[in-house]
Every structure is written in C-alpha cells, then in structure tokens.
Chains A and B, each alone.
Chain A
C-alpha cells in the first residue's frame, strides 16, 4: 500500500464527458505533482503544486485542469479528452524543502481510457 492514495483506479470515459481524478496524502508534504505515463515510457510531468499554489505547468492542454483545495488533496479535472490522452495518471508528493531532497512518493495511479 502506498501513502499516496488515488481514486479511481480505473476510469473509462467518452470524449464529451467531464470527470475528475483525485489524490490524497497525509505525510505533511507541501509539494504535489501530476504525471502522465504511457505504456513502457517514463512518467511525464504535467503540473506541480507547491504550498497549494501552481508552480509548474508543463504546457498541458486546457482540457486538463488541476486543483489543489488543501495541502492534502490534489484533483485533476478532465473535459473533452482525446483518445491520445489514454494513459496512467500518477500523483506524487514530496517535501518542498530542497535541502532535504527527499524522493517523491507516488500513488498507484489512475488508468484512464478515452473512448
């Protein structure tokens, strides 16, 4: 079991649907991340939140909309996705204090399929 919890584990949606992915951690981490991972590829960074503020957006299309309601929760709102958006979406968290350089802790991911 990981300390970063993602729901749902699987999601199938049509291109016109709106859905949300959720991520929760209770490790006191103040940095949270969304990654997209295609099969047999490394994770690709999408967004970084630091102290609940968006600090990095890797030029992600606007059909992906992140939200960090508090220090423990991270959401990814999905709307009008394309088939190429089908992937494993991973959430991660870490300490913000760079001096510690602790690793990012990953959730188990949400496997997203766009019909």
Chain B
C-alpha cells in the first residue's frame, strides 16, 4: 500500500524567509503532484513531476523530485503572505488514476 508522508504538518514563517516542505512516499511511483488549497476552496495544481531529478519553478515556489530516495521537496523562497495556504503532495500509484495524498502542510506566512 502506498503511503505518503509530509512534513512539517504546520509551518509558521516570517515574510522574506526560506523554507522547505518534504514529501516522502513508500513505493515506486512515476508521478508526483503538488497542490495548493486555500481555506474553504478547491485544490489548485502547482507542479507535476514525472522523472528523477525533475525541478520546476513558479514564482517563489520550486519543486523537485528524487525517485531513488522517494522524496519530493517544495522550496519556498522569500515567503510572502499570499503564500499562506495548505500544500498537499499527491503520488500516483501503479493502478490507473488513483492518487494518494499526503496529510498536507498548513503554511502561515506572518508579516
């Protein structure tokens, strides 16, 4: 059974600081996704990572994938308040379209 662990689960940081969210998964997978969810809102797709060593960047967020270590990171650079949200990683299993989500990281960026 595929298990996905995120840490930290809660992250409070100051504006302008850098931090990294980690996503570990237990079995081989060929696709990993990062989503953002604002309170009471839908999930917004941020990144799709498909190969070992993949790195994608959008604004102050950068995601990477190490399939050998079964680890993905979401790095936040010079955080701003607008980044406050819950971030989920989701890993694709071997059967069809099923995704297994991590518990989510609730990020709060303080002025």
Cβ contact within 8 Å between B48 and A102: yes
Residues of B within 8 A of A109 (CB): 41-42
Within 78-115 of A, Cβ neighbours of B (below 8 Å) are at 88, 90, 92, 94, 96, 98, 101-109, 111
Which residues in chain A, 15-37, are within 8 Å of chain B measured between CB atoms? 31, 33
- Chain B residue with minimal CB distance to A6? B42
Q: Tell me, in angstroms, the Cα distance from A42 to B91 when the chains sit together.
A: 13
**A-B residue pair count with CB separations less than 8 angstroms:** 62
Contact A42 B104 (CB under 8 A): yes
Point out which of B30, B86, B98, B106 has the most chain A C-beta atoms below 10 A from its C-beta: B98
Nearest B residue to A45 via CB reads B98
Q: Tell me whether A106 and B88 are in contact (CB under 8 A).
A: no
- Given A40-B106, A42-B102, A102-B48, answer yes or no on A50-B43 (Cβ-Cβ < 8 Å): no
Given A42-B102, A101-B50, A101-B92 in contact, is the A48-B97 Cβ separation under 8 Å?
yes
Contact: B97 with A106, CB < 8 Å? no
Interface residues on B, range: 20 to 34
Chain A: number of interface residues, binned into ranges: 20 to 34
Q: Return chain A residues, CB-CB under 8 Å to B30.
A: 101
Check if B97 sits within 8 Å of A33, measured CB to CB: yes
**A4 contact set on B, CB distance < 8 A:** 42
Known contacts A55-B97, A104-B33; 4 additional CB pairs below 8 A are A48-B98, A92-B43, A101-B31, A106-B35
Top 3 A-B pairs ranked by shortest CB distance? A42-B101, A103-B45, A106-B43
Residues of B within 8 A of A (CB): 30-31, 33, 35, 40-45, 48, 50, 86, 88, 92, 96-99, 101-104, 106
